[in-house]
Amino acid sequence: MAGSVGMSERALLGEDVRGVTATHGTAKARIERAALGLFATRGVDGVSTREIAAEAGLSEGSIYKNFDSKDALAETLFEAIHARLYALVKTAIAESADFEDAVRRVVAAYCDAADSDRTLFEYHLTHMFRFGQIDRPGRPDPTALIAARIAEAMTAGDCPDGDAEIKAAAALGVVLQPAAHRMAGRFSIAMASRADALARAALAAIQEA
């Protein structure tokens, strides 16, 4: 029945709302999840704090008890998934047996992230240009990890020479573009169900880019 009611109704029914950075079921978690759904569909600028509060089933003042502003809330959500992707990529590369295995593991990690919290992943995807260009020293960068592994593979002769950043972009595009198409309603299957095929395409993109 949860799928048939809105976020605010689920909150009022006492369901354990899933947080992004907050403990599940808390007021902060309700704010995060409400904002995430609204931001993902309408963009940060198209949503007011009053609407977020209404969707969360809380007072507008509760938002400012947990976040300095709407933009701070939006950036917190973005940074959470950005850091999560970094950790997933770092683990995938560290646990891989060779370069091909690393690519397969990274693609699988992105697919799993896209499926496990689809709204959060889609929010990150659609707001990369808003928050991803912020120059923040020490900020985790999953794409930089991928590019570094590709550069290492080029040095070792495991893939053709080229621009590691372009190769990383081409490989990521193989995963992110289908995710964008799913967001647009062109298909609805789990990304993980096509992880192997996408990994093969990513490997081909790296070879050719």
Query: How far is the C-alpha of 198 from the C-alpha of 196, rounded, in Å?
Result: 5
Rounded to whole angstroms, the Cα distance separating 121 from 156 reads 33
Q: Which two tokens stand for residue 98?
A: 């060779």
In whole angstroms, how far apart are CA 35 and each of 15, 71, 124, 134? 17, 11, 13, 21
Q: Which CATH code fits 2-67? A: 1.10.10.60
pLDDT at 189: 95
CA distance 33 to 58: 12
Domain 72-208, CATH among 1.10.357.10, 3.60.110.10, 1.10.3720.10, 3.30.428.10: 1.10.357.10
Residue 16's pLDDT band (cuts 50, 70, 90):
confident
Given a cut of 70, whether residue 4 has pLDDT beyond it is: no
Cβ contact 178:191 at 8 Å: yes
Q: Is pLDDT at 7 greater than 80 in this prediction? A: no
98, HSE (Cβ side, Cα atoms, 13 Å): 6
d(CA 50, CA 58): 9
Has residue 9 got a pLDDT over 70?
A: no
Give domain limits for the chain: 2-67, 72-208
Cα-atom radius of gyration of the chain, to the nearest Å?
19
**What distance in Å separates the CA atoms of residue 26 and residue 18, rounded to the nearest whole number?**
9
Return mean pLDDT, the chain.
Answer: 90
- For residue 208, pLDDT over 80 is answered with yes
Average pLDDT over residues 63-85: 94
Which element (helix H / strand E) includes 196? Answer: helix 195-208
Calculate mean pLDDT across residues 50-68: 95
Name the range with the highest mean pLDDT among 129-133, 134-138, 167-171: 167-171
In the numeric block, which tokens belong to residue 106? 């990274």
Q: What is the mean pLDDT of residues 134-159?
A: 90
Cα 19 from Cα 27, distance rounded (Å): 9
Element (H, E) at 106: helix 99-116
